[in-house]
Structure 1
Amino acid sequence: MKIFLALVSLVVTFHNANSAKILGVFSMPSRSHHRLGSSLMKGLAEQGHDVTIITPYIEKDLPKKGSYRQIALTGFEEAHEVRRKEMKMFEMEDQNIFLLLPFFLNLLHEMTEVALNHTNVQNLLNSGEKFDAVIVEQFMNEAHKGFATHFDAPLILLSTIGANIWVNMLVANPAPTAYVPDALLSYSSQMTFWQRLTNTAFQVYSHVLYHWFAFPGQAKLYSRYFPNSPPFYDTLYNASIVLLNSHPSLNQAVPYVPNMIDIGGFHVQTTKKLPQDLQKFLDESKEGVIYFSMGSNLRSSELPAEKRDAFLNTFAKLKLKILWKWEEDVLPGQPKNVKLGKWLPQQEILAHPNVKLFITHGGLLSTTETIYHGVPVLVIPVAADQKLNSHRIVNEGFGLALGYKEISEKALTQKINELLNNPRYTNNAKQRSKLFHDRLVGPMETAVYWVEYVIRHGGAPHLKVAGVDLPWYKYMLVDVGLFILTTLVFSLYVFCKIAKSIFSLCSKPKVQKLKRF
């Protein structure tokens, strides 16, 4: 018995020596954002770590290893649903992004404060606990970086939409506007002159908004809720690493500084079994299945009648079966070949060999999952990064895009038939899937390694580039540019003065002396 107890003690000691306490702050009330945050934290728990996550969504399916504690942001999901309906998501395609950005920054500011002021979060802040690392979703919620300073732990960021201006300016990562379009613009990397001009103007406009409006507002929240922490701007640029939900097989290849790590696809898991009715439906659909989902924020049931009827009439003519994520109990005019589901296990569905096509809004998670499984897509982008993703899908040749305004029975029929009958789309999707899977280690293993690396090396400050410590005018070489410009102007002025003097001397008439008789 003593030997047994000694062995148990040894195992516990070994576990504690390799287990870290990690806090994850994922307050964004969006199912897609939550899936990424919870997937990362569950992956860390499965490695034996003691994990705490702040989240609007409480899950019952918890990791079997480690420790997984959920701090609920009660009321967030309900408030988000009210806000989502008020925003009328399908009408956002017409919004001017220059006008929409200030609205979103103000909204995110409010959401940041509501999370900090939540009773459950305040209880955690006042608990006296210690953490070895704090992971915060980077989504213009800069005051949340104060969790790291409050708990005296290294700060790790998770960018759910890959590299973007919100991340780049915090780690001094270059993003040339000549070929890197802003995530909120509907441009591909092959931009025209006017698109490059707009992209550059929007980048400048964004920086002005962030530094003169968003950051000062976040600084006030930071000072209010973390009064004993270091200065806001010292914390703002102090991220140890940034985990990016991206990968060259998913996103455009762009420059990265050393502390930016690609982990795109880390959330994809297909180990679960399909519900029996879905398994039967997919297995028996030998002619093939089209899977149709507009994601978690866009709801198919909120489509205008004319758009909905265009889908219904198109689907009714097809020999394939349709699996449609429809959020209501009844779909008026539902064809016999259409099966509905208020919620559908997307990853497991896309993994089924009988799924021939995915009709999607083009969100990054849906794009990732269709690439993972090698399924061609028809993208109907509406807002956010969906148009950017649709350009990449079309450029890589594994899908087609259809603008929301262009939805009609004729357009849908033409696009779907092209995707189903032309094998190049499926072949390109399979090739893109091979690129996704061809990695030295899996994305979740990569994420876990780098989180543990930061903990092992006390924040890993050696990964940061010197650019994060430079003021903007030095980083942009404004002082150098002004010096060169001033030198050129002065040199030109001196040259002009000298040239004028020489010209004056040369053009002065000669006075001839008269001879005396």
Structure 2
Amino acid sequence: MNIITLIVLTSFTYLTHSARILGVFPFIGKSHYFLGSALMRALAEQGHDVTVISPFGERTPPNGSYRDIVLVKTRETFERKLKVNMFDVGELNPLISLPFLMIMLSELGTLTLQEPPVQELIHSDEKFDAVIVEQFLIDDLKALASHFNAVQIVFSSTGSNLWIDSLVGNPSPPSYVPSAGLSYSSQMTFLQRVTNTLVYLLNVVMMHAYVYPNNEQTVQKYIPGAPHIEDFLYNASLVLLNSHHSFSQPVPHVPNMVEIGGFHIKPPKKLPQDLQTFLDGATEGAIYFSMGSNLRSVDLPTDKRDAILNAFAKLKQKVLWKWEDEELPNKPKNVEVGKWLPQQDVLAHPNVKLFVTHGGLLSTTETIYFGVPVLAIPIYGDQKMNAQLAVNDGYGLSLPYKEVNKETFAQNLDEVLNNPKYSNNAKAKSKLFHDRLKTPMETALYWIDYVIRHKGAPHLRVAALDLPWYKYHVLDVIGFVVLVAAIGGTVFYVLLTRMCPLLFKRLKNKVKTN
């Protein structure tokens, strides 16, 4: 056997080493599951033995070893809780909606660990090399990594944020890192920094006063012999971030935080024949309209829907609208609807000139991938920030939901469709997105394998995690400097007050003598 053959065989064996990996993605949101599913399917197809805890499960399991543990009761419970019109949620003040979100999501970990199939897994003799947990205020589920003596990997469905930064020692000062629920850029005004700081402090107080204590109670109740929360909360070997500087604001990242934004996007496939014919026939261009997987266009109030239809009816372009019902009342001739549409494949069609979107992160990522400008109508969560970034970077406009009427919607459509700067900037952003050493998915798979190979890669852990809060913020140093300055100032003052009378007396005697 020659040396080249030996190297090839050795490399193949090294790259295809199989690990047992548990993925925990319990959030009741299809967009979150799409991300978790894409990652875990890729791991299974790479040769790993994969188990996934989620509310949905795969209709067509991937090639390789793949097992679903479906959270049936958890899904049913949250579907009852979330029977609200999501278009009304966006009107809530973040200082009110944030505590509500934290309380609701902290319950998700409890419901997950209560599930009979999850309890069966916990009490089994199964072993895992790594546990991947979604970071979304469900920190109690990180105890599963300790329980199975596995490497803890955290997946953030957004970029870095307040909920994960402190757990890996990543700096996120509110002076220039805006909270996800706010539509601020890094260049904040004074009043914006005041609001951002208040939201930051509210996060910290809620996490330490409610979320973490609640997590600790849940873990001790449902995981036998579980360690204290402090022993697993700060134990992430790797944080995978669904972000990238091509569509996210640049912020600090410690060594074990890796950006993989866009990893879920696949090369476009041929469209179903009816959609292919419709878009091929859009010689004047086409508009794609979707409010994502959690918001439903069918829930739009009648006045908003009619305003949008009125504007669409006056266009020469065709419109493809994700509409979750059989019929769209008063549908113009140039509008085609579908309950479900293959979004990535639609955006890849060369005739699509504009994406009207809610501004969700997946939609934002996909539109940048394909270089399509946007008109965003953000409703809640990070949608407002994503929409504002589109405005800042010049590849789209943002129209607040409450301001949508036939005049404003038509004006914004006209601006993005007929001003070439938006399309040009979208294409420029797309070039930035694709300019990487490896694809986002290859990056994710490499780093997962890396931390497993290196037994958790403790060399990536920053020293900030081992410092008490007062040392991290150098309060002890500041206190020492203030104390030294105070002592020095006091000594100087005492000496000065004692020496001055003697100096004055000597000067006075000298004057008399002269």
TM-score range, shorter-chain basis? Answer: over 0.9
1:192-226 deviations in Å (ceiling 9; x for gaps): 11212222232223212212221111111122222
Please report how far the alpha carbon of residue 271 of structure 1 lies from its aligned counterpart in structure 2 after TM superposition.
Answer: 4.5
Q: CA RMSD in A?
A: 2.2
Please report how far the alpha carbon of residue 333 of structure 1 lies from its aligned counterpart in structure 2 after TM superposition.
Answer: 1.3
Q: Which shifted more, 428-437 or 270-279?
A: 270-279
Structure-2 change in CA distance of 1:235 and 1:37 (3 Å): same
2:354 counterpart of 1:354: no
Whole-Å Cα distance in 1 between the matches of residues 13 and 397 of structure 2? 53
Q: Which residue of 2 aligns with 1:25?
A: 24
**Residue correspondence of structure 1 range 18-97 to structure 2 within 5 A:** 18-64=17-63, 66-86=64-84, 88-97=85-94
Whole-Å Cα distance in 2 between the matches of residues 443 and 488 of structure 1? 52
| Fraction of identical pairs, as percent | 55
Please report how far the alpha carbon of residue 70 of structure 1 lies from its aligned counterpart in structure 2 after TM superposition.
Answer: 0.7
2:436 counterpart of 1:439: yes
Whole-Å Cα distance in 2 between the matches of residues 466 and 158 of structure 1? 22
1:477-508 deviations in Å (ceiling 9; x for gaps): 12222222333333333434444444555678
Whole-Å Cα distance in 2 between the matches of residues 509 and 468 of structure 1? 61
Q: Which residue of 2 aligns with 1:515?
A: none
2:177 counterpart of 1:180: yes
Structure-2 change in CA distance of 1:210 and 1:508 (3 Å): farther
Q: Which shifted more, 478-487 or 74-83?
A: 74-83
Letter in 1 for 2:275: L
Whole-Å Cα distance in 2 between the matches of residues 348 and 100 of structure 1? 35
1:267 to 240, 264, 268: 264
Q: Which residue of 1 aligns with 2:458?
A: 461
Letter in 2 for 1:268: I
Q: Which residue of 2 aligns with 1:298?
A: 295
Q: Secondary structure at the match of 2:265?
A: coil
Letter in 1 for 2:191: W
2:225 counterpart of 1:238: no
Q: Which residue of 2 aligns with 1:285?
A: 282
For structure 1, the residue ranges without an aligned partner over 5 or more in a row are 1-9, 513-517
Whole-Å Cα distance in 1 between the matches of residues 15 and 504 of structure 2? 92
1:376-426 deviations in Å (ceiling 9; x for gaps): 000111111111111111111110110111101111111111111111111
Whole-Å Cα distance in 2 between the matches of residues 147 and 81 of structure 1? 25
Structure-2 change in CA distance of 1:105 and 1:368 (3 Å): same
Whole-Å Cα distance in 2 between the matches of residues 506 and 208 of structure 1? 57
1:246-280 deviations in Å (ceiling 9; x for gaps): 11111111111100001000000134432222122
Q: Which residue of 1 aligns with 2:319?
A: 322
Q: Secondary structure at the match of 2:479?
A: helix
Q: Which residue of 2 aligns with 1:131?
A: 128
2:404 counterpart of 1:410: no
Q: Secondary structure at the match of 1:155?
A: strand
Whole-Å Cα distance in 1 between the matches of residues 72 and 340 of structure 2? 22
Whole-Å Cα distance in 1 between the matches of residues 218 and 485 of structure 2? 46
Whole-Å Cα distance in 1 between the matches of residues 74 and 325 of structure 2? 22
Whole-Å Cα distance in 1 between the matches of residues 135 and 32 of structure 2? 11
Q: Secondary structure at the match of 1:183?
A: coil
Q: Which shifted more, 44-53 or 329-338?
A: 329-338
**Residue correspondence of structure 1 range 301-380 to structure 2 within 5 A:** 301-380=298-377
Whole-Å Cα distance in 1 between the matches of residues 479 and 216 of structure 2? 31
Please report how far the alpha carbon of residue 305 of structure 1 lies from its aligned counterpart in structure 2 after TM superposition.
Answer: 1.4
Letter in 2 for 1:29: I
Letter in 1 for 2:258: I
Please report how far the alpha carbon of residue 237 of structure 1 lies from its aligned counterpart in structure 2 after TM superposition.
Answer: 0.4
- For the 8 Å contact 2:136–2:156, the answer to whether it is kept is yes
Q: Secondary structure at the match of 1:243?
A: strand
Q: Which shifted more, 315-324 or 490-499?
A: 490-499
Whole-Å Cα distance in 2 between the matches of residues 279 and 119 of structure 1? 45
Whole-Å Cα distance in 1 between the matches of residues 485 and 205 of structure 2? 29
- For the 8 Å contact 1:15–1:48, the answer to whether it is kept is no
Structure-2 change in CA distance of 1:33 and 1:15 (3 Å): same
Please report how far the alpha carbon of residue 510 of structure 1 lies from its aligned counterpart in structure 2 after TM superposition.
Answer: 11
Please report how far the alpha carbon of residue 92 of structure 1 lies from its aligned counterpart in structure 2 after TM superposition.
Answer: 2.4
Whole-Å Cα distance in 1 between the matches of residues 210 and 74 of structure 2? 25
- For the 8 Å contact 1:249–1:436, the answer to whether it is kept is yes
Letter in 2 for 1:258: P
Q: Secondary structure at the match of 1:85?
A: coil
- For the 8 Å contact 2:73–2:115, the answer to whether it is kept is no
- For the 8 Å contact 1:292–1:325, the answer to whether it is kept is yes
Normalised to the residue count of structure 1, the TM-score between the two structures is 0.92
Q: Which shifted more, 95-104 or 395-404?
A: 95-104
1:435-492 deviations in Å (ceiling 9; x for gaps): 1011111010110111111111111111110111112121111222222233333333
Q: Which residue of 2 aligns with 1:4?
A: none
Whole-Å Cα distance in 2 between the matches of residues 73 and 375 of structure 1? 37
Please report how far the alpha carbon of residue 300 of structure 1 lies from its aligned counterpart in structure 2 after TM superposition.
Answer: 1.1
Whole-Å Cα distance in 2 between the matches of residues 479 and 204 of structure 1? 21
Structure-2 change in CA distance of 1:322 and 1:271 (3 Å): closer
Structure-2 change in CA distance of 1:447 and 1:423 (3 Å): same
Normalised to the residue count of structure 2, the TM-score between the two structures is 0.93
1:424 to 421, 424, 446: 421
Letter in 1 for 2:61: L
Q: Which residue of 2 aligns with 1:7?
A: none
Whole-Å Cα distance in 2 between the matches of residues 495 and 298 of structure 1? 68
Whole-Å Cα distance in 2 between the matches of residues 510 and 254 of structure 1? 63
Whole-Å Cα distance in 1 between the matches of residues 255 and 388 of structure 2? 28
- For the 8 Å contact 1:158–1:243, the answer to whether it is kept is yes
